[in-house]
Structure 1
Amino acid sequence: MEAWATRAARARDPHTSNFAQRIEQRLWRYSASRNVVKRWLLEIISWTLSAACMAGVIVMLYVYQNRSIPRWPLGLTLNAYISVLEKIASAALLLPVSEALGQLKWSWGPWGSLLLIIRTKGRSLAALGACVTILALCLDPFFQQVVEYPEKWRLQDGKGQIPRAIGYEPFYSSMSFQQGFQTMETDQSMVGVGYRFFFGNGTPPMTFGKGMRAEVPLGCPNSNCTWPDYETFGISNECRDATDRVEFRCSHGPMDWIQMPDADPDAVKDYTFPNGTSCGWWLKADKPLLMTGYNVDRRSNHSGEILLQRAQPLYDLFSREFMPGYTPLLNNSRNPLAHVIIVSGEEAESVHRNATPSAQECILSWSAQTMQSTYTAGGYIEKIARAFVNTSVGESHWRTTVIPNDNNQMILYDYNNTSFIDNNTHNAMVALFDDVFPSTYTILSDDKDAQPMMRWKWWKTITPYTRRMIYNPWLYRNVTMHMDRMASAMTNMMRSAPSDTETVEGMAYDLESLVDVRWVWLSLPLGLLAFTGIFLLATIFRSSREHDRGQVGVWKTSAIATLLYGLPDDMSKKMTSTKADETPRAKAKEVKVKWVPIGGWRFSGNSIPPSFKGSPSSS
């Protein structure tokens, strides 16, 4: 007896009991307390911890929503943060549910707790706890679906830079003089661009990234740059179908279209155009011009020669006076760089069939263009939103002066104007287009081995210039597109010039993985948190009422009640089967047992009358 008292005293002495014993004693005192909050303190703390973890997840998602993925120390990621808090929240959520279910089983009895959900069909308080326990298995996948990381364009600190032309004056540094008169060498960079389009397909756009290769020296510090609308000085083109400006007929007269004129017997180096009869499509003017056709004379040096295509300016090459008798389709530029009609029969066979040719009237002019530019993933996209051209039509600003040289073998012309562009610049650009407008594309016969030749630089009256073409861009029906591309390439050359340009700054973007929060996936975790709180409060309320009436103690999941209060001896004997073929388990199925704290054990069944063990004082 003294030894037992000594062990009991040691158990009560905090200095002699270990840490685990002290915790167990503290929890037992809380469970046995008459204070409702103390009896359920651990469950309340557990539910609060689960709520705090979910709140920590929500706050972090709210802070980083639509922002870049956070970079935390030790490589911790947002998903890891959510996963850790989710695990704690899930575990903390199950404790109050399991304890509440454990408490409710004392009201239902051991066997009734097993058939709780089936028999109640979800209509009891315990069924809510059972559903929460099952649905808690889905917390992990739901939390993992809350966050995804789409890539979106985000504004960066850097600026995109793109040039725009505010003028074009490339000639002041290369002035030269001849016989006391100022002459100029045409900008060789612009000549290179023009010749690529005059005698070939130009510089076709090259696919690069998500757009085309940029033809201007732009700068973009990131993978995407967008510029606000900006204006640049450049060249614009406009074309119209001019089929109604030509007519078919046969006519006799000077054949100025032939490939190689005849030598003038009265001069050493000059050439003349012989007369002849030609059939084909003629330009409607006071002095009609054969645009595409063939010579029908026999026994002549040019018999059977075919004119496949002709590009004819609508003004005199030297005086710049407009062609008499021709009614233009386009007359919306006061000082065009070129105003030309291009007619093509395409093939010798179609020319001989007198098929209707394709005809385009085009005009190239200085313009102020409003540009829209974007650069994405290495590809450049450019669009001309608007183009302003000086459309004031009136008396020409050009004045020409004939200047003979000493031996009268060459005529020089001095052009003067007062237009919005510098005289020298405009003069040099006009001279560049004068190289190819006018020009003719002829073939000596319809022999398949015959090679067509272009005759160009008509302003040189001494020696005809001819050129063999690998690809003649003026021969086909895509003249309008070709002229548009040439105007764009020349504008880009002006924007790339070392002078008369300035930089336009734009916004730079880069792809970043952002935090996209899909809040709907938090509905289940927050719903379970709310249901668990309701379930816990309802269980606390019910168990408190039963405890106060002396019906059921607050035992929760503890097995102490069954260990302290076993079945009485007389009931154990009654549970023993008297039949040979009946087992104790079969007998137990017919018995219902319930522990009443004040009244003791209560038994009922088919073969056992209700009985009680103990008394209110002993229980």
Structure 2
Amino acid sequence: MARTPQSQQWPPYPHIPIYTGTSNNSGTARSYRSISPIVPSPEILVENQSIQYMAATSTQRTNMPPNHSPVSPATQFTNLSPIWSIPEPLLVPPPEVAQQPPSRPTLHFFHSSQHRVPLETPIIRKSENAEKSPPHPGRKSRLGLGIQDMSSPQSPASIPSSDAAVDKRSSNIAQRIEEGLWRYSLSGNVIKRWLLEILCWLLSALSMATIIGFLIYYRNKKIPNWPGSLTLNAFIAVLSKVSGAALILPVSEALGQLKWSWFQGHSKTMWDFEIFDNASRGPWGSFLLLIRTKVKALAALGAIITLFSLALDPFFQQVVDFPDRWTLQGHSSISRAIRYNPKTELVNRAGGLVNQVDQNIFYVARQFFYGNGTQPVPFGNGTRPEIPVSCPTGNCTWPPYQSLSVCSKCADVSNLLTFTCLNTTVDWTANLNGGDYKEKKTYPNGTMCGYFFNIPGSPNPPMMMSGYLTEAVKSAGGAAPKGEALLTRLLPLATNPEKLPLFNGSIHFNNVRNPIIDFIVVSTLNGYEGVLRNDTPVAHECVLSWCVKTFKSTYYQAKYEEEVLEIFENNTVGDFPWVSTPVITPTFNATDVWYSENITIKAPLTVNGSDMTDFGLINTTLWNVAQGFDDLFPSLYTTTNTSTSPVLRYRTNLSGASYLMSLDFNPWYGSNNITRHLERMATALTNVVRSAPNGPEVIGDAFFTETYVSVRWAWLSLPLGLLLLSLVFLIATMKKTAKEVVWKTSAIATLMYGLPDDMQKKITAEAQNRTPRAKAKELKVKLHGNGWRVSSPFPSPRATKSRQYQPPPGWF
């Protein structure tokens, strides 16, 4: 059919009319009027229960007289008249209206403090104000979305009081803010159009700056004790939530604006509209957008920011840590020895006073003589310290300090052993009696083969250290069978009890001035069978002496640790210190033995700001200590065959029958680490010396655990990086869309500029076997001006049966 050319103000879809009517009881003509979907109407006036619609165009025609016959719908579409008057009897609608209601409700605009569209079909009449107030297309709109404000201050709307009360109640703060933002979005100033997004970005930056400021202030400090049980971790969590939420808003709005820019210039699939819209709302849409754009568009940067923003909270949680640190709380103490002078015990024997062995030293040393020595006592997660320690907090340290100690050394003397078979004095078998030299002179002679200790130039005859009898011998103590073997021999280099030097007193340690004991230990490696095979034994010279050690001690969670930093010994050359004097009385003959000098060790180090460098002990104390070693040195470890357990013959200085002992563990056996065993003995004896009562103490520090704030700055890389990228993305979007209408993520704009009805019908008709979403993947559109242009062809929709008397649907 032919159509009349449209004027400049004619709507783009004139074939879609708006049905208008009145709700009063008077007989008033019913009219139809076309309206453009993008041009707003002038204000609406409600008066005497009548509603005045917004005009669709700036030109109007006078209504037909009431007695004029109604125009048919076909004539209306043909003539394209802006107004068609239909006479209508009072209270009786036209037959076509009464028989068939409109398929779509008419959209009514109420221009008041709120813009509302009631979905109803009232009967209206034209207001006189509409005739007197022509529209003003050039007036700047305050409604947003490109809708022109056609209201005129000369013709305000007359609204009933009931509607005014409703508008007053519904005009809340949120609406006022929204209207203000819309007015800013229509501004020509780019900053004002993006003011909300800029403020949100600044809020995010301020939140992050606040977090960083608090971390800088509390770094390496005690955890703050804030009122109300508020913790630093909770404070950071709240600010991180605020920062993340404020950061994602400008990114989302910028993605929404790029959604409209995507369809300008070239046609894109309508499916892209949903992908962009989903990207502005969540990570899944952002992931799809990255795939769609192949990370080549500006919108891909916003999608990346949205995806990485999911990790903001975990990264903020990892920034701060709360380790426990030790702080100084008080003092601790640990014992040390400068001089060792325990109380001397004297025993009256035959009218004379005799010194007794040092029971404290002997008790500990004896466990190393006949066994594996003292063992640490488990305590807590460590061992109990063997010296007095005072640590009130469980973590104590002491500065380096010096103490009188016992040191040990060992040297190999296997080169002094010679294997041979000799017929000489047998002084090592198990059944020999002990006693003085007069009794020893009665020891029998016999033939034996083994390793003899022979120092060239020594006046003493060779002494067998490891070997066996080749024939049986008899003695006052009993017979020694053929094949009896000497497995281990401990030989002091000073006779017992006369303390006469053997082999010039020492072989390798003549520089040690104050030895407690200097001895040689020789032992086979393979037991009785090794002796019969003439296997070479192991031979050591070992010495225990007085010295000064520098310690560094720590005590942590019931675990005591000690480190020896330095050892100082008195290596001054002097005469042999032991002196022996025969004592003859009417009742017995004896030898008076004593140590001829006091022990003084001048250590070169000054510790704890003190000049107490003279360490040592008096001569009687050393005699009491050395007397305890006569219990073992000399001693012999022998056996008669492989089926007989070896026995230890000790206390050989005592007259009478032999002292024999079976050992569960022989620490002097060649297969054991004799050097390590002697070091452990020296440490245990040092602890006895340091544990003497009334000894001086070393004052140290005691620490207590407190929680501190530790900052791991590397975890801020993602939040700060996203903050910077979001700023770049926002600025780039503002620049790219500076000359475009700013709609962002507005749902109203989507409703306003939807596809025309005919295109919607075509899509619906084509999508009977498929979903409209599937069809949207094929349809290409682009944004042209204020509407959509479809570039993909569609077949004509199925013909629908026209309804003659149905009013045309409304169009917005």
Structure number with the higher helix fraction is 1
Corresponding residue for residue 154 of structure 1? 326
For the pair 1:47 / 2:201, whether they are aligned, the reply is yes
The CA deviation at 1:271 is 7.7
Find the aligned partners of 1:480 and 1:580 in 2 and give their Cα distance: 102
Report matched runs for 1:66-465 at 5 Å.
Answer: 76-109=230-263, 111=270, 113-114=273-274, 121-147=294-320, 154-172=326-344, 174-175=345-346, 183-205=354-376, 212-261=383-432, 273-279=442-448, 280-284=450-454, 285-287=458-460, 288-298=462-472, 300=474, 301-304=478-481, 305-324=484-503, 328-345=507-524, 347-420=527-600, 421-443=617-639, 445-446=640-641, 448-449=643-644, 452-458=647-653, 460-461=654-655, 464-465=658-659
Find the aligned partners of 1:133 and 1:99 in 2 and give their Cα distance: 12
SS in 1 for 2:522: strand
Counterpart AA for 1:154 = W
Per-residue Cα deviation, 1:366-395 (whole angstroms, up to 9, x for no partner): 010122334444333333332211112232
Find the aligned partners of 1:413 and 1:431 in 2 and give their Cα distance: 10
Corresponding residue for residue 5 of structure 1? 158
The CA deviation at 1:13 is 9.9
Per-residue Cα deviation, 1:435-494 (whole angstroms, up to 9, x for no partner): 221222344x33734662413151x34665444433332233422222111111111111
Per-residue Cα deviation, 1:88-133 (whole angstroms, up to 9, x for no partner): 2222122222222333444444946457657765454444334333
After alignment, is 45-54 or 277-286 more displaced? 277-286
Counterpart AA for 1:440 = L
Counterpart AA for 2:443 = P
Find the aligned partners of 1:166 and 1:202 in 2 and give their Cα distance: 25
2:733 alignment partner, one of 539, 552, 557: 539
Find the aligned partners of 2:356 and 2:212 in 1 and give their Cα distance: 72
Contact 1:296 1:303 in 2 (8 A): no
Corresponding residue for residue 68 of structure 2? none
Counterpart AA for 2:251 = V
After alignment, is 28-37 or 407-416 more displaced? 28-37
TM-score with structure 2 length normalisation?
0.63
Counterpart AA for 2:360 = S
Contact 1:345 1:351 in 2 (8 A): yes
Distance 1:402 1:504, change over 3 A: farther
The CA deviation at 1:202 is 1.2
Contact 1:53 1:88 in 2 (8 A): yes
Contact 1:306 1:348 in 2 (8 A): yes
Corresponding residue for residue 686 of structure 2? 491
After alignment, is 488-497 or 527-536 more displaced? 527-536
The CA deviation at 1:311 is 1.3
The CA deviation at 1:169 is 0.5
SS in 1 for 2:566: strand
Q: Considering only aligned residues, what root-mean-square deviation do their CA atoms show, in Å? A: 4.1
The CA deviation at 1:496 is 1.3
Find the aligned partners of 1:473 and 1:223 in 2 and give their Cα distance: 36
Contact 2:645 2:662 in 1 (8 A): no
Report matched runs for 1:594-609 at 5 Å.
Answer: 594-595=784-785, 601=787, 603=789, 605=791
Corresponding residue for residue 744 of structure 2? 556
Contact 1:295 1:302 in 2 (8 A): no
Per-residue Cα deviation, 1:209-235 (whole angstroms, up to 9, x for no partner): 776543223233445444433222111
Find the aligned partners of 1:405 and 1:123 in 2 and give their Cα distance: 117
Contact 2:579 2:593 in 1 (8 A): no
Counterpart AA for 2:338 = I
Find the aligned partners of 1:141 and 1:263 in 2 and give their Cα distance: 83
SS in 2 for 1:337: strand
Corresponding residue for residue 500 of structure 1? 695
Find the aligned partners of 2:598 and 2:396 in 1 and give their Cα distance: 40
Find the aligned partners of 2:382 and 2:763 in 1 and give their Cα distance: 94
Contact 2:400 2:550 in 1 (8 A): yes
Find the aligned partners of 2:177 and 2:763 in 1 and give their Cα distance: 48
Corresponding residue for residue 723 of structure 2? 529
After alignment, is 552-561 or 232-241 more displaced? 552-561
Distance 1:333 1:566, change over 3 A: closer
The CA deviation at 1:238 is 0.5
Distance 1:16 1:68, change over 3 A: closer
The CA deviation at 1:245 is 2.0
SS in 1 for 2:391: coil
SS in 2 for 1:534: helix
SS in 1 for 2:680: helix
Counterpart AA for 1:255 = V
Find the aligned partners of 1:541 and 1:315 in 2 and give their Cα distance: 103
Contact 1:68 1:514 in 2 (8 A): yes
Quick check: which has more Rg, 1 or 2?
A: 2
The CA deviation at 1:562 is 6.0
Find the aligned partners of 1:196 and 1:365 in 2 and give their Cα distance: 19
The CA deviation at 1:134 is 3.4
Contact 2:595 2:622 in 1 (8 A): no
Counterpart AA for 1:54 = M
- % identical equivalent positions: 39
Alignment gaps of 5+ in structure 1: 547-551, 609-619
- Aligned residue-pair number: 586
Counterpart AA for 2:618 = D
Distance 1:256 1:122, change over 3 A: closer
Distance 1:158 1:34, change over 3 A: same
Counterpart AA for 2:452 = W
Counterpart AA for 1:502 = E
Counterpart AA for 1:407 = T
Find the aligned partners of 1:326 and 1:401 in 2 and give their Cα distance: 18
Corresponding residue for residue 613 of structure 1? none
Contact 1:68 1:513 in 2 (8 A): yes
Distance 1:502 1:186, change over 3 A: farther
Contact 2:631 2:650 in 1 (8 A): no
TM-score with structure 1 length normalisation?
0.80
SS in 1 for 2:464: strand
Contact 1:286 1:325 in 2 (8 A): no
Contact 1:167 1:501 in 2 (8 A): no
Distance 1:581 1:327, change over 3 A: closer
SS in 1 for 2:553: strand
SS in 2 for 1:5: coil
SS in 2 for 1:91: helix
SS in 2 for 1:216: coil
